Amino acid sequence: MRRLIPLTMLLGGCGFIDAGADPLIEAHRGGAGYWPQNSRTAMLGSIDAGYDGLEFDLVLTSDGVPVLSHDPWLHEDLCTTTAGDALGERIFIQDLELATLQADYLCGGVQDPESLDAEIVAEPVMTFDELLEAMVDAPEMLFHIDVKYEPDETPGPDVFAEEIMSRFVAADLPNPWFVSANLAELVLAFEGWGADNGVDVPSLVTWPRFTPDTSDVMVAVGNELGASTGLVDMVSVADAAGADGVSVPYQVIDRQLAALARSQGLFVAIWTVNDQAMLQALQGWPIDAVVTDYPELAR
């Protein structure tokens, strides 16, 4: 089992943060409170704003191209055809080649009911390759790659690991980074790819397990636990996945549990915190990263 202390090991030895630093503030889905989630506009906006970190989600097309999307399908409420028509049905991204996906569909041109103040910009889905090219202008920005593998709805874990990691390594960016996923088999696939290719893959496992059709809040509240039980669960899940840390919703963790997790050598990322007072309070917690739709609030 690999663990993250010292933290600079996770971040490629670059010294970007250390155990005594305030937690990094990551723009959730590129800053979904400001721009369409996981969109080209959001990624470029966050890079231009110079946030500490960029959290984004990846799925695969039928021809194996990683693209930015929170779900394995085109969001029925947030995406349309290029003609402006509603989708009418769930369209799985794994069933579309990249050329078809980008030519026939637009996302972000419909108001997001969860982010009423976000800009409305209709754009083709962004590829991971396009994001890697844009990140050349932000060499210190943390990459938080959240991989959206779902059994029966996406390609398998080994395909994800190969397609994402081969591109990331080829880009040869200096950025600190890690991969997160909510299933142990996916984390193990990335760790296995790293072992086969001589690459140290820093990884977090998301706990508790979330599925795309499940309410984040309901799962988090339903799994709210006391400190000792929560620690056991987090450590056991990280151990089973061979992960370096955990990515947890703020509803299931308190300062004591965060400190206990840190004492076990776990990197701790908390999401999705959109309250300014809470964001400011978390600056003093023994944690490593905080994910928010509104990173400006932490400033």
Q: How far is it, in rounded angstroms, from Cα 147 to Cα 213?
A: 16
Cα dihedral 283, 226, 144, 1 sign: positive
92: in domain: no
* pLDDT band, very low/low/confident/very high, at 8 (cuts 50, 70, 90): very low
- Supply the pLDDT for residue 214: 62
Q: Compute the average pLDDT of residues 49-53.
A: 98
* pLDDT band, very low/low/confident/very high, at 233 (cuts 50, 70, 90): confident
For residue range 28-48, what is the model confidence (pLDDT) as tens digits?
A: 999 999 999 999 999 999 999
- At position 177, the amino acid (one-letter code) is W
Alpha helix locations (H) across the chain?
7-10, 40-49, 98-104, 128-134, 157-171, 184-197, 216-222, 227-241, 255-263, 276-282
48: in domain: yes
Q: Is the pLDDT of residue 16 over 70?
A: no
Q: What is the DSSP string of 69-97?
A: -SSSEE-TTTEEETTS-B--S-EEGGGS-
Q: What angle do CA 17, 21, 23 make, to 5 degrees?
A: 85
- Supply the pLDDT for residue 14: 35
Going by the DSSP 8-state scheme, the letter that residue 264 receives in this structure is T
Q: Compute the average pLDDT of residues 110-139.
A: 97
Q: In this structure, what CATH number is given to the domain that contains residue 234?
A: 3.20.20.190
Q: How far is it, in rounded angstroms, from Cα 231 to Cα 139?
A: 34
Q: Compute the average pLDDT of residues 107-126.
A: 96
* pLDDT band, very low/low/confident/very high, at 229 (cuts 50, 70, 90): low
Q: Is the pLDDT of residue 220 over 60?
A: no
* pLDDT band, very low/low/confident/very high, at 226 (cuts 50, 70, 90): very low
55: in domain: yes
287: in domain: yes
Residues whose CB is less than 8 angstroms from the CB of residue 212 and which lie 6 or more positions away in sequence, other chains included:
70, 71, 72, 148, 150, 153
Average pLDDT of every residue of the chain: 89
* CA atoms within a 13 Å half-sphere pointing along the CA-CB vector of 293: 16
88: in domain: no
Q: Compute the average pLDDT of residues 45-54.
A: 98
Integer CA distances (angstroms), 9 to 13, 177, 298, in order: 5, 11, 26
Q: Is the pLDDT of residue 215 over 50?
A: yes
For residue range 156-206, what is the model confidence (pLDDT) as tens digits?
A: 999 999 999 999 999 999 999 999 999 999 999 999 999 999 999 999 999
Q: What is the DSSP string of 190-213?
A: HHHHHHHHT----EEEESS---TT
* pLDDT band, very low/low/confident/very high, at 119 (cuts 50, 70, 90): very high
Q: Compute the average pLDDT of residues 84-112.
A: 97
Residues whose CB is less than 8 angstroms from the CB of residue 36 and which lie 6 or more positions away in sequence, other chains included:
42, 78, 107, 108, 109, 112, 118, 119, 120, 121, 123
244: in domain: yes
Q: How far is it, in rounded angstroms, from Cα 118 to Cα 113?
A: 10
Q: Compute the average pLDDT of residues 248-256.
A: 92
* pLDDT band, very low/low/confident/very high, at 75 (cuts 50, 70, 90): very high
SS3 category, 54: strand
Q: How far is it, in rounded angstroms, from Cα 275 to Cα 119?
A: 20
166: in domain: yes
Domain tally for the chain? 1
Q: What angle do CA 176, 247, 203 make, to 5 degrees?
A: 45
Burial 108-124 (b: 16+ CB within 10 A, else e): bebebeebeebeebbeb
78: in domain: no
Q: How far is it, in rounded angstroms, from Cα 179 to Cα 50?
A: 21
Distance between first and last Cα of the chain: 36
Residues whose CB is less than 8 angstroms from the CB of residue 297 and which lie 6 or more positions away in sequence, other chains included:
274, 275, 276, 279
Domain enclosing residue 183, as ranges: 7-68+125-298
Q: What is the pTM of this model?
A: 0.90
SS3 category, 1: coil
